[in-house]
Amino acid sequence: MAPIYSRVNDLSNSTWSKTLLDEPLLTGRPTKHIGNKNKEGDEATKVLQLVCNEIDKLEFSGTHHPYYTRPLLEAACQNAYKVVDEILYRSPEAIQSTDKSGYDIIQLAIIHRSDKIYKRIYDTGERKNLYRTVEDSSKNNILHLAARLAPSHELNRRRCAALQLQHELQWREEVKKHIYPTYITRENIFKETPDMVFSREHEQLVKEGENWMKTTAESCSITAALIATIMFAAAITVPGGNRQETGIPMFTNNVAFIIFAVSDAISLFASSTALLVFLTILTARFAENDFLVSLPIRMLIGLVALLLSTIVMMVAFSATLFLVFCHKKLWMIAPICVLAFIPIGFTTTFWLI
C-alpha cells in the first residue's frame, strides 16, 4: 500500500495519514487486527475513502488533484480496481494522468495485465474510440503493448511456462477485440507489427513451454503405458482363475468380480487414451498459437484420462483384494476403501493445487 500512497506523505502531520502508511490494509496481507477477508476489505475501503476525503479538502490547480496522479497510475499497474473506481468517481479528469513515459492508465493496465481495470475503463469510458487508435512515442498501439512480455510477478501466478504463454496469448486476443483491424498489422518506428513484437518478447517462453510440455508428456506416457500393461495382464489372468471345462472365470456371478471387470476395462481404455494423447503432444509442432487452445486441451485430456485410469486401477485392485483374500467378510470393505482412498486423495489433491 505504501507505494500507492507515497505521494500523500506530505500530509504526514495528520493522524489518518500516519495510520494509513503504517497499516497494510490495501495489500491483501493478513494483519493482526483483521480476522477475515471480508472485514479486511471493509477496513481497506474505509481507509481509501478517508484518504480521498482528506485529499479533496486540499487546494489544487489544474484539471484534477495532483495527489491523485501517482496513486491512480500505481493502482493501474497493480490491478487495484477499487482504488481506480474511487479516484475516478471523485475526479473523472484524473483519467488523463500519465507517467514519465507518457502512458495513461489504460496503457499501463495493458502492459501490467490489469484485466479488471482494463475492462472497466474500456467498456465504460468515453474515450473508447481514442483508445483504439492511441499510440505512444514509438508509435506502439495498445496491441503492441499487449504483445510485450508480462512482468515477472504476473507470469509467476501460473505454475508453468505453458500456462504462462497461454495467458499471454489470451490477453493478446482480448486486446485485439477492441482495436481497429488496420492497427493489427500496423508497424511502429522499428518496423515491427504487434505479432513480431510478441514473437520477439516471448521467444524464450515458447522454448520453456515446449520443454515443459515434452517433459510432462514423456513422464506421463511412461506411467500410462505401465498402467495399461498392468490392467491388460490383469484382464487375462482374472482373480480366482477359470474353470477348466468351460474357461469361464470362477467368480463370474460375484459382485466384487463384476466391479473388478468394469474397473479393469475402464482403466485400460483410459490409460490407452492418455498414452495416445501424450504421443500427439510429443509430435506437435509447438508453434505460438498452439499454446492458446490445442496443446493445453491435449494436456488436460491426457492428465484427466491418466488420473481416471489411476483411480479406477485402485478400485479394481481393491475389488480383487476383497474377492481373493477376504472370503466374503463384509467388514473388510471399510479398511480396504480407506487404504485405497489414500493414494487417490493425495493424487487428486496434488494435481488440483
Q: Which residues contact 14 (CB under 8 A, 6 or more apart)?
A: 54
CATH superfamily of 6-202: Ankyrin repeat-containing domain (1.25.40.20)
Strand partners, 249: 242
Res 108 pLDDT > 80: yes
The pTM (predicted TM-score) of the whole model is 0.78
Q: Which carries the bigger pLDDT value, residue 315 or residue 274?
A: 274
What cell numbers appear for 219 in the block? 513422464
Euclidean distance between CA atoms 100 and 110, whole angstroms: 17
The H-or-E segment that residue 241 falls in is none
- Residue 30: pLDDT band with limits 50, 70, 90: very low
DSSP state letters, 267-335: HHHHHHHHHHHHHHHHTS---GGGGTTHHHHHHHHHHHHHHHHHHHHHHHHHHHHHHHHSTT-GGGHHH
Could you tell me the CA-to-CA distances from 118 to 48, 75, 88 in Å, in that order? 21, 12, 14
φ and ψ at residue 242, rounded to 5 degrees? -115, 155
Where do the DSSP E strands lie in the chain? none
In the chain, what are the domain boundaries?
Answer: 6-202, 205-352
SS3 category, 123? helix
Out of 238-242, 279-283, 294-298, pick the least confident.
Answer: 238-242
Q: Residue 322 in contact with residue 240, Cβ under 8 Å?
A: no
- Residue 330: pLDDT band with limits 50, 70, 90: low
pLDDT average, residue stretch 287-293: 93
Could you tell me the CA-to-CA distances from 312 to 193, 224, 265, 308, 317 in Å, in that order? 50, 13, 9, 6, 9
Res 189 pLDDT > 80: yes
- pLDDT tens for 310-327 read 989 988 888 888 777 766
- pLDDT tens for 226-271 read 999 999 988 888 776 666 666 666 667 778 788 888 999 999 999 9
